[in-house]
A and B are shown apart, each in its own frame.
Chain A
Amino acid sequence: MDAETIFRIANSVAIAGWLVLLASPIMPKVAHYVSAMAIPLLLAVVYSALIMAFWSGGQGGFDSLEHVAELFRSPELLLAGWIHYLAFDLFVGAWITRKARKDGIAFWAVIPCLVLTFLFGPAGFLLFSAITAAKSVPSLKGAAS
């Protein structure tokens, strides 16, 4: 199986996970099992396998930016890095969905957080944390509920 094929399959699987998160208001349990467990674990297996197979053949390391760039010159390690994004972004998206539900944050306010997490990972986490922080201000208690 070549890197390009794995890339396309991993992307499709991750997008399926995000679509399930968008449907989470009608099926929260399924969304949890699919998007916080099944898909991230599947991606984690693929990631681990890629690292096991290609890490020893790669150049570079974690200690300087130049070395990190060198690591990503191996297409398989670049793919592993991409799957790392896919897995952890989806996992954070599922965590946001679950926490919002528990804290009583309206789903319409969660959607932009999910979109941002999907596209730009940490920025979505930042937005969600900002919403949570704003809601903790006493006068804003009922907002976005």
Chain B
Amino acid sequence: MNTLAKSLPVPVRTPAAARLDPVWWLGELGRREPVLAGTGILIGLAAIPMAFAGVVDPRLFNGIDVWIKPVKFATAIVLYMLTLAFFAGWVSGKDRRKWWFNVAVRIVAAAALFEIVYISYQASLAQASHYNRADMLHIALYAMMGVGATLMVAFSGLLALLIRRNPALNVAPAIRDSVVIGLALTFVLTMIVAGTLSAWGSHWIGGVHSDAGGMVLTGWSRDGGDLRVAHLFATHAMHFIPIFGVASAYIFGGGNRLPIWLFSALFTGFVAFLYFQALAGQPFLPFIE
């Protein structure tokens, strides 16, 4: 019983109702890491006018409405910021009060804001943000996005290290391992996939270079390779593996780490498969329209 209680991601004394209340959750994330939670909430609110701009704007980019990209990036960055805020609460209080931790948090927040502001601004001009090599200014800004994105992703690697070395963390070993591995894999796998994406000069490999006719919701290419697939799963390691960790703690016990390591190996293999599938110019689940 004690292991089970320890395996829950939130203290058991919290009333069940509070755990389903989104306002309570935003407050809780703010208590864990105010800068990251605040940045996430701000970007989430910015997505509201962006979405409405998509409704009124007739312009297309790569075959789809210019505002789809900023709304997708805002959604992804909100989820990323709020997840980082959640896991930052598992870093020891001693580390969280260190100056370098607070500098790192602010760098991540600044990078996220720059990313979303530049992507939205370029969308408002119906111009590319990523891969925009039109002139020196746009090359420099694209390079800055790369630096910012690297710093943002590196922070999940830092969290993995800090959570691993927190002696006071009161969660089951299976959960702790799943979070540490998930955050570390988000960093390592995203660096590999996104690095390739950037070096390749396009996320499309073969097929028609257009978002029109892409997979429902994600927009992934249906007739060629698309490195965005591997990017999504690589970056969401921080969600998939800890969620498996919680399920595994219930089913196989909070002290049993073996399922976590096996699942992590499988997940890495899956991302590698997606990566090479895209490089081979093959679409992911081409039967889904």
Interface residues of A (CB under 8 A from B): 1, 6, 45-46, 48-50, 52-57, 76
Contacts and interface: CB of A to CB of B under 8 A. Distances in A.
8 contacts: A48-B49, A49-B55, A50-B53, A50-B56, A52-B49, A52-B50, A52-B57, A57-B59
Nearest to B123: A52
Nearest to A53: B57
Category for how many chain B residues contact A = 10 to 19
Contact of B57 (A6, A46, A54): A54
Given A1-B55, A6-B56, A76-B56, A53 B124 contact: yes
Contacts of B67: 52-53
Nearest to A45: B49
Given A52-B57, A53-B56, 7 more contacts: A45-B52, A50-B56, A52-B50, A52-B120, A53-B53, A53-B59, A56-B126
Contacts of B120: 52
Nearest to A47: B49
B56 A45 contact: no
A76 B58 CA distance: 12
Contact of A45 (B48, B124, B125): B48
Given A1-B55, A54-B57, A76-B56, A49 B125 contact: no
Interface in B20-60: 48-50, 52-53, 55-57, 59
Contacts of A1: 55-56
A52 B55 CA distance: 11
Interface in B183-229: none
Interface in B59-113: 59, 67
A138 to B, nearest CB: 48
A56 B56 contact: no
A6 B55 CA distance: 11
B49 A49 contact: yes
A49 B120 CA distance: 11
B48 A52 contact: no
Contact of A49 (B52, B59, B126): B52
A68 to B, nearest CB: 20
Contacts of A50: 53, 56
Contacts of B52: 45-46, 48-49
A52 B126 contact: no
Contacts of B48: 45
A52 B66 CA distance: 11
Contacts of A55: 124
A15 B135 CA distance: 48
Contacts of A53: 53, 56-57, 59, 67, 124
